[in-house]
Structure 1
C-alpha cells in the first residue's frame, strides 16, 4: 500500500490552502487532484457527503472532508505537533484559526471579485481548468464565477462598506508585517495551528490574485514572505539571523501579535456577537433535530446579521461554522485552572477579544460521518 494521501483541492480555493500547507509543513506525502477528476464524484463524494474542498483520501481509503478535520486527524495521530503547550499560546493559536478561516472572508472576497481589471483573467483561468474539458466547461465556469461574485456581497462588501473593509485590511496587514519583523511565524520559529488557519484567506485570495498580491508585496513584504514560507517544507527563514526552531518559550505571546488581534477584533467581535444572536433566534424558531446538518448545502438556510464597524452598518451571512471553530477556543479555556484563566483573561482583554469567550450558540455543533451537525 502506498503511503501517499490524495488531497482533492484547487489552487485558488481559500480553504484548500490551509490543509495543503499543513501537509507540506508536516512532511506528509500527498498528491493533489482537482474535484474535476472522475474519481472525486465516483469514489470520494459518497463518503465525503458534500462536494467541498479540501477533502482528503488516506492511503487506507478513509475520506476526511474539511480542512479543520484533516488537520485534526493528523494532530491527534502524531502528538499534536502544531499545538502549543501553554494556555495563552493555545488560546491564541485556536483564535487565529477561527479568524483566518472565517473572519477574513470579507476582504478575501472583496479583493478577488471587485478588481476585475487586474484579477479576472487570472481567476478565470483557475476556475476553467479546475474542471474537465467538456462541452459545458465554459458555461459551468461562468456560472461558478457568478455565484462566487455574489459571495462578496453576502459577506458584507457593498459600496457603503467598501472603505471600512479596505481600511481595516490595510491596518491588519501592516500590523502583521510589524510582527513578522520579529518572528517568521505567529508564535515564534515554527507554525502553529493558527498559522494554517490564517493562511486560508492570505494565500489563495490575498496572496495570489494579482491585485491583492501586488498590494501585499508592496505594503507588507514580510507578510508576503510568510505566505511563501507557509508553502515550503523547510523553515524558510534566512532573513532571521538568530532564528530558533521552536515556539516561543514561557508561553509568550508577543505584543506585536496582540496588536494584530486588536485590529481584527474591530469587526470580528461585533460580527460574531450579531451572528450568535441571529442564529440563536433561528434555533429557537426552527428547532433542528439532533443530528441535522448545521453547515453546508445540506443545512437549512439562515440569513444575514447586521452589526456596526466604525459607524458603518454591515450585513453579513451568519455562519454556524464560525461557532464550530470558536467552540475549540472556548473548550480550551473551560479546561484551564483559575490561575491560567486569569492570565488568558488579561491577554484577551489587552487585544479586545474578551467577548469571544462568552459568545456562544444555544446548541453545540459536533461532527459525525463527515458532516457538522447540531447536537
Structure 2
C-alpha cells in the first residue's frame, strides 16, 4: 500500500489519539499521508495484522505496522533522531513525560464528558464525523446511519471513567481552570516547554484537539474562554513555524533546563486533579479531582 517512502497514518479527524500522532508527525517533519479506516485496505490488511479495529496505526514504507500512540512516537523518535521531540535535560524531560501522561490519560474524563454528555447538542456533527471514518461512499444518509451505530458503542464509556451526575460539575470546573492556566501560558510561549514542541504538547493534543477543539460544545467554550489554547491547537497542526506573535521567541526549549514560570500553575492543577492517580492504590481516572476529594473530606 505504501510507496514513495511515505509513512501512512491510519486514523480519523475525531480520534483523540490520532490527533496526538498527527501533530507529532507534522512537527517532527516526517513525510506522511493520512487515510481513513473506511478504506478497504485497512479492513483487509491492517485490522488483520493488528487483530483489532483501532486507530491510530502507522504503516512504514516497508510494510511494518506500529500501533499505540506512545509506542509509535517512541519508535519513530528512535528511528529519526534529528529534531528530537524529547528534551535532553533531566528536569525538562521528566516534566515533558509527566505532562504527556496527564494529557494522554488524566484528561480522558473531560474529553469524553464533553463529547458524550452533550451528545444531543452536537448529534449531527458527531454522526458525520464517525460516519466518514467507517463508511466509504457518497450516500449521505448511509454515512450518518453508520456514524450513529458506531456512536452507540463509544457512548457507554462514561461510567468506566467515573463521569456521572455527581462528578460532572467537578470535571467541568477542573477543565475550565486548566483552560485558564493554559491560556495564560500560551500568551507567553508557543509550546508547553518554550519555543519548541515536545511530547508534552502531543500528549495534550490528544484531548484538546479532536474532542475539545472540534466538537461544537467544548470548541465554543475553548474559543470564548481560552482563545490562546485554540490557537495552539492550530499551531500544533502546522509545520515548523514561528507565529507572528512569537517572532522574537527562540525556537528551542528554555536554556539551563528551566521550566517556564507560566507552566507552574498547570503543574499544580495536574497534581491536584490527577496526582492521586499516579499511585497504584487509586486507579480510577476520576478519584483525584480535588473538588471531589474536598467534598468527601467535608462529609
What TM-score, normalized by structure 1, do the two folds share? Answer: 0.72
State the Cα distance separating 1:142 from its structure 2 match. 2.7
Q: What secondary structure, in the 3-state scheme, does the structure 2 residue paired with 1:268 have?
A: helix
Q: What secondary structure, in the 3-state scheme, does the structure 1 residue paired with 2:251 have?
A: coil
State the Cα distance separating 1:222 from its structure 2 match. 0.8
Larger relative helix fraction = 2
Equivalent residue in structure 2 for 1:307, among 287, 290, 297: 287
Partner of 1:297: none
Larger relative strand fraction = 1
Partner of 1:84: 87
Q: Hey, what's the Cα distance between the residues in 2 that align with 1:236 and 1:217?
A: 21
Select between 44-53 and 208-217 the one with higher mean Cα deviation. Answer: 44-53
1:238 matched to 2:244: yes
Equivalent residue in structure 1 for 2:99, among 73, 96, 121: 96
Partner of 1:115: 118
Query: Is residue 237–residue 243 contact of structure 1 (8 Å, CA) maintained in 2?
Result: no
State the Cα distance separating 1:272 from its structure 2 match. 3.5
Q: What secondary structure, in the 3-state scheme, does the structure 2 residue paired with 1:244 have?
A: coil
State the Cα distance separating 1:152 from its structure 2 match. 2.2
Query: Is residue 181–residue 222 contact of structure 1 (8 Å, CA) maintained in 2?
Result: yes
Q: Hey, what's the Cα distance between the residues in 2 that align with 1:26 and 1:306?
A: 33
Q: Hey, what's the Cα distance between the residues in 2 that align with 1:121 and 1:139?
A: 11
1:132-184 deviation digits (Å, cap 9, x = unpaired) = 34898665433321221211232111111111111100001101111111110
Q: Hey, what's the Cα distance between the residues in 2 that align with 1:130 and 1:3?
A: 25
Gaps in structure 1 of 5+ consecutive residues: 280-303, 314-375
Query: Is residue 171–residue 289 contact of structure 2 (8 Å, CA) maintained in 1?
Result: no
1:323-334 equivalences in 2 (<5 Å):
none
Quick one: structure 1 residues 174 and 70, their matched pair in 2 at CA, closer, same or farther if it must change by over 3 Å?
Answer: same
Q: Hey, what's the Cα distance between the residues in 2 that align with 1:104 and 1:307?
A: 13
Query: Is residue 170–residue 291 contact of structure 2 (8 Å, CA) maintained in 1?
Result: no
Q: Hey, what's the Cα distance between the residues in 1 that align with 2:32 and 2:288?
A: 43
Quick one: structure 1 residues 223 and 136, their matched pair in 2 at CA, closer, same or farther if it must change by over 3 Å?
Answer: closer
Equivalent residue in structure 2 for 1:56, among 55, 58, 67: 58
Partner of 1:170: 176
Query: Is residue 38–residue 136 contact of structure 2 (8 Å, CA) maintained in 1?
Result: no
Q: Hey, what's the Cα distance between the residues in 2 that align with 1:71 and 1:220?
A: 28
Equivalent residue in structure 2 for 1:211, among 211, 217, 222: 217
State the Cα distance separating 1:202 from its structure 2 match. 0.4
Partner of 2:162: 156
Quick one: structure 1 residues 62 and 157, their matched pair in 2 at CA, closer, same or farther if it must change by over 3 Å?
Answer: same
State the Cα distance separating 1:264 from its structure 2 match. 2.1
Query: Is residue 113–residue 119 contact of structure 1 (8 Å, CA) maintained in 2?
Result: no
State the Cα distance separating 1:45 from its structure 2 match. 2.1
Quick one: structure 1 residues 278 and 311, their matched pair in 2 at CA, closer, same or farther if it must change by over 3 Å?
Answer: closer
Q: Hey, what's the Cα distance between the residues in 1 that align with 2:34 and 2:190?
A: 26
Q: Hey, what's the Cα distance between the residues in 2 that align with 1:136 and 1:222?
A: 38
Query: Is residue 11–residue 126 contact of structure 1 (8 Å, CA) maintained in 2?
Result: yes
Partner of 2:22: 20
Q: What secondary structure, in the 3-state scheme, does the structure 2 residue paired with 1:73 have?
A: helix
1:181 matched to 2:187: yes
Quick one: structure 1 residues 278 and 173, their matched pair in 2 at CA, closer, same or farther if it must change by over 3 Å?
Answer: closer
Q: What secondary structure, in the 3-state scheme, does the structure 2 residue paired with 1:7 have?
A: strand
1:1-375 equivalences in 2 (<5 Å):
1-79=3-81, 81-133=84-136, 140-273=146-279, 276-277=280-281, 307=287, 309-310=289-290, 312=292
Q: Hey, what's the Cα distance between the residues in 2 that align with 1:167 and 1:305?
A: 16
